Amino acid sequence: MIIDNRYNEVFSSFDFLNTEFSSGSCIIDVFPSHFSFHPFIKSNNNNLENYAHQLNVIAITSLLDHSYVLIISDGGIKNNVAIFITYIHIQNRPIVKTIHYAANITSTEAELFTIRCSINQAVNLLGISKIVIITNSFHAAKKIFDSSIHPFQVYLATISKKLRKFFSTNNNNSIAFWECSRCCN
């Protein structure tokens, strides 16, 4: 009997021994100050107003500063089809509008795919040092920096590689994730 071992191969994105996922070399360990998360916490109407004001300041700042790229991502699932729309702007100029459709995948997979595509496009733009992603997929964005073993590691490996290169290019480069839940709309 001949055994075909090519299917027993461990892909690097799922290999917990891969240096990308080892303690001390994960993107969260190497570049801890280059990314931030800003969740929306609704405890009263003042929080909603303050949060909306902060998002407005970000939008105005991105209008004035050519080194900012503002990414707005929204999505949902209807009739078992995930639909995610991404808008990428620099100084109020729409650079890219992308609509992603996917069937038979989880919403987290679709959200991570959308975030990955957005980051891929943003890091390839010249002169960008600050990426701001406003998304209703905040829980998925947090998974990008989770180095534990989970089914979404393939996205983590791809995004981590792009962000590692982006952060290494300039010590001031950063990415910020802002939650925009349905109650903020």
Question: Residue 64: is it exposed, middle or buried by C-beta count within 10 angstroms (0-12/13-18/19+)?
Answer: exposed
Other C-beta atoms lying within 10 Å of the C-beta of residue 80: 8
Domain boundaries, the chain: 37-184
CATH homologous superfamily of 37-184 equals Ribonuclease H-like superfamily/Ribonuclease H (3.30.420.10)
Residues 85-131: pLDDT tens digits? 888 888 767 777 888 777 777 777 878 888 888 888 899 888 899 99
Q: Give the pLDDT confidence score for residue 104 in this predicted structure.
A: 78
Q: Give the pLDDT confidence score for residue 133 in this predicted structure.
A: 92
Which two three-digit tokens encode residue 53? 């004001």
Q: Give the pLDDT confidence score for residue 148 in this predicted structure.
A: 67
Q: Give the pLDDT confidence score for residue 129 in this predicted structure.
A: 94
Q: Give the pLDDT confidence score for residue 140 in this predicted structure.
A: 80
pTM of the full structure: 0.79
Q: Give the pLDDT confidence score for residue 112 in this predicted structure.
A: 82
Query: How many angstroms separate the CA atoms of 33 and 62, rounded?
Result: 20
Q: Give the pLDDT confidence score for residue 21 in this predicted structure.
A: 58
Question: Residue 67: is it exposed, middle or buried by C-beta count within 10 angstroms (0-12/13-18/19+)?
Answer: middle
pLDDT truncated to tens, each residue of the chain (185 aa)?
454 444 444 444 455 555 555 555 677 778 888 999 988 887 776 788 888 889 889 988 888 888 999 998 887 777 777 787 888 888 767 777 888 777 777 777 878 888 888 888 899 888 899 999 998 888 888 877 776 666 677 777 778 888 989 999 999 999 999 988 655 55
